[in-house]
Every structure is written in structure tokens, then in C-alpha cells.
Amino acid sequence: MTELRGYKELPIGAVPFRLSTDYKTGDWRALRPVVDNNKCVKCMLCWIFCPDMAIIWDGEQIKVNYDYCKGCGICAHECPVKAIDMVPEPSE
């Protein structure tokens, strides 16, 4: 404690001002969803049920945004054709 900070130096309080997209939650994951786009029937149920908005539909294919996916496995469980596999994350 060298010097007390005045109110002008303090960060903005009470107002969250940065988007949480800067905060990557992908490292919470133990299992990684892998989409088999040959099996996929594009029913979009994974996109609808994903709690982390980590499934991306680019107009042709279902992709997973591994920056945010927490690996809950809802997509794999709800997929009607079982096109999503949950595989263990490679250990580093």
C-alpha cells in the first residue's frame, strides 16, 4: 500500500462494460464434441439447445466454437442421428 487511489483512477464500477466473448470458457471442457457432417441431417437441434452458443451454422455445415464450448454433451445427447461424438480432450 504505497498511495491511495482517487476516484478518477478507479475502474468503472456497477456497469459491466466488456463483452464476455473476451472470456474463453473452452478450457473448462473435459469432453470435446466432434461433429460428423456426413451423418448430420441439419435439423439444428444442437444449435437450439446449446447453452453456450458454441454451435455455429455457417450455411452449409455445423461447426463447434471450441473457444466457448464447455463440453456438457447436450448436443450429443439430443442429436437425433447421433452425428456428434464426445471424445476426451487430448492431454497436454
Partner 1 sequence: MAQQTLPQIPIKKGEPAYKLWIFEPGWKGELPLILNPRQLAEQKRAAILPGHRLCAGCAAPIIVKLASFAFRGPTIVVNATGCLEVATTIFPYTSWAVPWIHNAFENAAATASGVESAIKAFKKTERLPWDHVDVVVFGGDGGTFDIGLQSLSGAAERGHDFLYILYDNEAYMNTGIQRSGGTPKYAWTTTSPVGSVLPGKTQHKKPIADIMVAHRIPYVATATPAHWLDLMKKVRKGIEVNGPAFIHALSSCDRGWRHDTALAIEVSRRAVDTCYFPLWEWTPEKGYMLTDRSLSIARNPKLKQPIERFLEVQGRFKHLLRPENRHLLKDLQEWVDKVWEDLLNRAVNAPR
Q: How far is the CB of 13 from partner 1 (least distance, A)?
A: 8
Read off the amino acid at residue 88: P
Q: Are the CB atoms for 83 and 36 separated by under 8 Å?
A: yes
- Rounded CA-CA distance 15/57 in Å is 32
Q: How far is the CB of 76 from partner 1 (least distance, A)?
A: 7
C-beta of 21 vs 37, nearer to partner 1: 21
Q: How far is the CB of 37 from partner 1 (least distance, A)?
A: 15
Q: Are the CB atoms for 29 and 89 separated by under 8 Å?
A: yes
Read off the amino acid at residue 18: R
Query: What are the grid coordinates assigned to 47, written together?
Result: 444449435
C-beta of 2 vs 5, nearer to partner 1: 5
Q: Which residues bind partner 1 (CB under 8 A)?
A: 11-13, 16-25, 28-29, 42-45, 47-54, 56-59, 65, 67-68, 70-74, 76-78, 86
